[in-house]
Structure 1
Amino acid sequence: MSDPARLNPPLGNTDHGWAQPSLTRRHLLAATAGMAVVAARGEAKAADSEPSLSVMLEELPPFSFRDAQGEPAGYAVELVREMLRRAELSPKFEFSSWQRVMAKARGDSAVLIPTIVRLPEREKAFYWLGPISKRHGMVYRRKARPDVNVSSVQDLRQYRTAVVMGDISEREMLSLGLDSEQHLDRSTDYGIALRRLFSDRVELLAISRVLAPAMLKQYGYNFADLEPVLKLRETASSMALNLASEPALRHKLQHAFDAMRRDGAMATTIARYPMLSLE
């Protein structure tokens, strides 16, 4: 008669080496699953710790605009992509009006503005990474309006000048002593301002000399139909972060921005835009 114990060895028996491997496999599977959970949590934590940054853009060629595929393009966009690549951050671009850009910059999340003119009244409102190009303000009239005679700031008071609300050109005109109601015609964007100029509802347009050709083309007008009548002051277009951005984020972006100036990446990029200059 056979020994029942030998026919049916207990599960814990290791004499024949067949029960223990099953336990070992279960232990390994459990350990592997546990490691996967820990790794997933670590990746999620790393993703959560990565600084969140919104890049706020205007339709402002040649600095920023949508290309034929609807993707962000332009000089400032190229700089931002390279800077974020070096800082190992992923860009999140958003196009909006200047009013919306400034409103978001006053919020609690980190915001990068690739193109903003550095002014004394804005100095403490942003963290300034540095200048990216020179800006030359100009007042234009239509060539079809030789009756609009401007040779000095005082002459501007005789006419209405189209400006975009909140834009540096509006601020420049106000700094010259012009009245926002009497002398300026304020629009929410350049499309409206140009329509008013070419329909003779206003006589003059204040805009950056660099922006003017591309802006007119974008809205279906010919820059050759305009002529400059008065040069405004020279300023600098800069890149800035809002104050809600964390110091660690500012440090990473500042390091990348400075490196781009030192190693010639910024100069190489601006060379593709002949209408722009760093000096």
Structure 2
Amino acid sequence: MPKLQVVTEEWVPYNYANEQGVIVGRATKKVREVLDAAGVEYEINLYPWARSMKLAKTQPNTMIYSIYRNADREKQFEWACPLMRPVRQYLFKLKSRTDIQVASIEDAKNYVISVVRGSVVHEFLVNQGFEAGVNLDITADPSASQKKLVAGRIDFLLTTEYTMYERLKLMGVDYSQVDPVIEVRNSSDRRACMAFHLDTDKTLINKVKRALADHNKMFVGP
């Protein structure tokens, strides 16, 4: 069975590199447990999301996580789901920005939201009619968005409470400085998965799928 190339992005607290450069996180822990149980030889590397996606689409025997499964991506990969339960995503603003008033995602088009290039949030907002350079600030560095929000250079960030809390903690900023204004439900109903290049060894994929199913039966939670 071939060695599996595993790629991911920096998404605190699910997948990220710690101070020693080891890729850790809630999703990474489960991925390692599943792959170890499957008896798969693997190596995990962390790249910007767009590069990880390119590798997963172009190189056989490559797996990407944590990736949301949607209609646009369905036929691009072989899927193993769920890796994590759905997590709620919110539009966050600085609490001090009392000038910002929104009641819906449509209202947010009057402001600027920072997103990671090629992410499911980026795709979702583009499908909702948001445009780069108008109301979307696009970055390759996930940590840049929180920094821009705190500095007042953008108006909103669409992310999870977990991610916002952990990112701000790393920056030395208290979570009480931000407000989750509205839950973006259409962006919160998907489960994060593992996805394989279509030409990945089928025996390998089947072993991972069985190990994931067994893990999900044994444990409650992500």
Fold shared, TM-score > 0.5 on shorter chain: yes
SS at the partner of 1:135?
Answer: coil
- Following superposition, the deviation at residue 215 of structure 1 comes to 2.3
Q: Partner of 1:106 in structure 2?
A: 57
* Alignment pair present for 1:232 and 2:184: yes
Greater fraction helix: 1
> How far apart, CA to CA, are the structure 1 residues paired with 2:30 and 2:74?
22
Match of 1:161 in 2: 113
Deviation of the 1:220 alpha carbon = 4.1
- Give the deviation of 1:257 after TM superposition: 1.1
User: Equivalent residue of 1:174, what SS?
Assistant: helix
Within the alignment, does 1:59 sit opposite 2:10 as a pair? Answer: yes
Compute the displacement of 1:206 (Å). 1.5
TM-score (norm 1): 0.72
Aligned to 1:189: 141
Which of residues 41, 55, 75 is equivalent to 2:26? 75
Partner of 2:39: 88
Change (3 A) 1:223 1:167: farther
Determine which of 141, 149, 160 is the counterpart of 1:208.
160
Q: Report the Cα distance in structure 1 between the residues aligned to 2:199 and 2:184, rounded to whole angstroms.
A: 33
- Structure 1 stretch displaced more, 190-199 or 139-148: 190-199
Task: Decide whether the 8 Å contact of 2:8 with 2:64 is kept in 1.
Answer: yes
Shift of 1:68: 4.2
Alpha-carbon separation, structure 1, partners of 2:199 and 2:160: 29
Instruction: Report the secondary structure of 2:81's partner residue.
Output: strand
Deviation at 1:53?
0.5
Amino acid at match of 1:163: V
- Report the Cα offset of residue 65 of structure 1: 2.1
Q: Distance in 2 between matches of 1:56 and 1:171?
A: 20
Equivalent runs, 1:108-123 vs 2, <5 Å: 108-123=59-74
Question: How many Å separate the matches in 2 of 1:118 and 1:126?
Answer: 9
Distance 1:206 1:77 in 2: 22
Which residue, out of 206, 211, 216, partners 1:251? 206
Structure-2-length-normalised TM-score: 0.90
Structure 1 residue runs without a partner (length 5+): 1-49, 271-277
C-alpha distance in structure 1 between counterparts of 2:13 and 2:149, whole Å? 22
What corresponds to 1:180 in structure 2? 132
Q: Give the C-alpha shift of residue 195 in structure 1.
A: 2.5
Aligned to 1:138: 90
- Identity between Structure 1 and Structure 2 (%): 26
Q: Distance in 1 between matches of 2:28 and 2:105?
A: 35
RMSD of Structure 2 on Structure 1 (CA): 1.8
Give the deviation of 1:106 after TM superposition. 1.6
Deviation at 1:124, TM superposition (A): 0.6
1:219-275 deviations in Å (ceiling 9; x for gaps)? 44332211011211222111221213121111111111111122x1x42xx4xxxxx
After TM superposition, the structure 1 stretch with the greater mean CA deviation from structure 2, 164-173 or 144-153, is 164-173
Per chain length, whose mean CA-contact separation is higher, i.e. which structure has more relative contact order (CA < 8 Å, sep 6+)? 2
- Unaligned stretches of 5+ residues in structure 2: none
Residue correspondences, number:
218
Q: Which deviates further from its counterpart, 233-242 or 68-77?
A: 68-77
Q: Per the alignment, in what secondary structure is the counterpart of residue 186 of structure 1?
A: strand
Deviates more, 1:118-127 or 1:243-252: 243-252
CA 1:178–1:67: 2 relative to 1, 3 Å: closer
